[in-house]
């Protein structure tokens, strides 16, 4: 049976890259893939969420193909909000499994620093229904805050059961050279940072960032013909959708799309949750870490905070989450984020994660969301 491999991954430091454009970010990140030879690409998928608004640039397929000297190669831009990167990876995976492509370049690129703070809030809310919410100034952070409040009330928990996740993320990012925020923080700092929308605090959210990440996928047929230093199998990939507003779902605290995507991705290679030792999750708001971990079954409902407190998601625990700091601390360059997650798992499974290395990890998985779980993507990777 045809299989899909990742033969190279590259990522740039997530930062406010004032001097870099989409074009220059893309060329830099692709330069980091030079170990892969020959440079023969059948298709390019460019993940980007906001280029046409912030840089007045659409048609990023052709633009990026030309930037990297691959004009002539089929290229397509993929947008799925914060899950654009994962969606592009899924598209690449499908292209290879279909037999129509043997090598696919997936690039995630986003430049958010060009926005004013108010534009950033506006843009970060675009994945929710604008005609219902955005038009009246309801931000995505406000929706996350209401989920957060419902969560604390339902399970009668203190806020630290949610707010400790950013502390863990900053701890992990402190050893990650490509992370946006490499400082460590404390629960006290998180809980005394400015309120964004109560109970949500600034240190429980992400900030505008620029970044680019890229991976090369290839088929099992093409693998012998490609020079590469490391390889990881992209063993499963799946996605699902949900009712867009969390409050229209049967249970606003259950991320069903994430659960469906995750289990379908695991089922393809026949893996179980327990085999996953590295897990990248979409913690654009602290509360999403709790909800994802509970929705996909790592923790009982309302128990993820306690599990985290007991070390279940840290080094030495059952599964290490967000080994480079996750969206919270590595940073969340929106459309590029999913590709960062994949590149980070690639680093972990090839033993190149440096100080962030999870020892003995054979399997890794990622979950990426658009909005507050209305779209979910999951990818599962296996040591090559």
Binding site residues, other proteins, CB under 8 A: 53, 115-119, 121-122, 125, 131-139, 141-143, 145-146, 149-150, 153, 194-200, 243, 245, 247-248
Minimum distance from residue 153 beta carbon to other proteins (Å) = 8
Nearest 5°: CA angle at 340, between 350 and 343?
20
- Of 130 and 315, the one with the shorter C-beta distance to other proteins is 130
Helices and strands of the chain, counted as H and E runs: 13, 12
Helix axes 140-155, 117-124, angle to 10 degrees: 60
Q: Which is nearer to other proteins, 98 or 116 (CB)?
A: 116
| Shortest spacing between CB 243 and other proteins, in angstroms | 7
Residue 119 or 383 having the CB closest to other proteins = 119
Instruction: Specify the residue, 76 or 150, whose C-beta has the smaller distance to other proteins.
Output: 150
Containing 240, the helix (H) or strand (E) segment is strand 232-241
Helix (H) or strand (E) holding 321: strand 320-321
H or E element that contains 251: none
CB-based burial label for 332 (10 Å; 0-12, 13-18, 19+): buried
Supply the minimum distance, in Å, between the C-beta of residue 209 and other proteins.
16
Complex with other proteins: residue 134 or 384, whichever CB lies closer: 134
Q: How far is the CB of 135 from other proteins (least distance, A)?
A: 7
Q: Which is nearer to other proteins, 30 or 244 (CB)?
A: 244
Residue 179 near residue 173 (C-beta atoms within 8 A): yes
For residue 200, the minimal CB distance to other proteins (Å) is 8
Rounded to the nearest whole angstrom, what is the least distance from the CB of residue 257 to other proteins in the complex?
15
The side-by-side arrangement of strands in the sheet containing 4-11 is: 75-78, 43-47, 103-111, 210-219, 4-11, 232-241, 375-383, 363-370, 278-280, 320-321
Q: Output b/e per residue, 274-296; b: 16+ Cβ within 10 A.
A: ebbbbbbbbbbbbbbbbbbbbbb
Q: What share of the chain is helix, strand, coil (3-state, %, to 5)?
A: 40, 20, 40
Per the structure block, which two tokens stand in for 231? Answer: 């390889």
Query: 257 or 319, CB closer to other proteins?
Result: 257
State the nearest-atom distance from the C-beta of 52 to other proteins, in Å.
9
């Amino acid at each position: 049976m045809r299989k899909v491999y990742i033969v190279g991954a590259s990522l740039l430091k997530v930062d406010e890259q004032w001097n870099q454009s989409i074009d220059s970010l893309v060329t830099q990140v692709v330069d980091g893939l030079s170990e892969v030879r020959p440079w023969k690409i059948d298709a390019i998928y460019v993940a980007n969420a906001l280029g046409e608004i912030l840089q007045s640039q659409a048609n990023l397929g052709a633009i990026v193909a030309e930037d990297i000297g691959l004009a002539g190669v089929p290229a397509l831009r993929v947008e799925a909000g914060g899950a654009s990167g994962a969606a592009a990876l899924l598209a690449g995976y499908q292209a290879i499994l279909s037999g129509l492509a043997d090598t696919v370049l997936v690039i995630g690129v986003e430049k958010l620093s060009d926005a004013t703070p108010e534009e950033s809030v506006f843009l970060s809310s675009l994945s929710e229904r604008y005609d219902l919410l955005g038009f009246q100034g309801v931000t995505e952070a406000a929706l996350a805050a209401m989920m957060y409040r419902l969560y604390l009330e339902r399970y009668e928990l203190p806020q630290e059961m949610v707010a400790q996740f950013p502390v863990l993320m900053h701890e992990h990012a402190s050893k990650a050279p490509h992370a946006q925020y490499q400082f460590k923080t404390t629960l006290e700092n998180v809980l005394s940072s400015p309120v964004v929308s109560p109970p949500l605090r600034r240190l429980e959210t992400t900030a505008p960032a620029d970044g680019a990440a890229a991976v090369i996928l290839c088929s099992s047929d093409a693998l012998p013909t490609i020079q590469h230093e490391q390889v990881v199998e992209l063993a499963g990939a799946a996605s699902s959708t949900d009712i867009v507003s969390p409050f229209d779902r049967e249970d606003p605290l259950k991320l069903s799309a994430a659960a469906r995507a995750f289990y379908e991705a695991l089922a393809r290679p026949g893996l179980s949750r327990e085999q996953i030792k590295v897990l990248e999750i979409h913690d654009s708001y602290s509360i999403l870490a709790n909800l994802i971990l509970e929705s996909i079954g790592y923790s009982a409902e309302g128990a993820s905070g306690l599990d985290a407190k007991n070390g279940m998601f840290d080094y030495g625990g059952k599964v290490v989450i967000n080994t480079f700091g996750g969206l919270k601390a590595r940073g969340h360059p929106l459309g590029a984020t999913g590709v960062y997650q994949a590149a980070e798992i690639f680093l972990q499974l090839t033993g190149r994660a440096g100080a962030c290395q999870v020892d003995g990890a054979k399997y890794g998985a990622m979950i990426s969301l658009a909005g507050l779980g209305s779209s979910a993507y999951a990818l599962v990777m296996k040591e090559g």
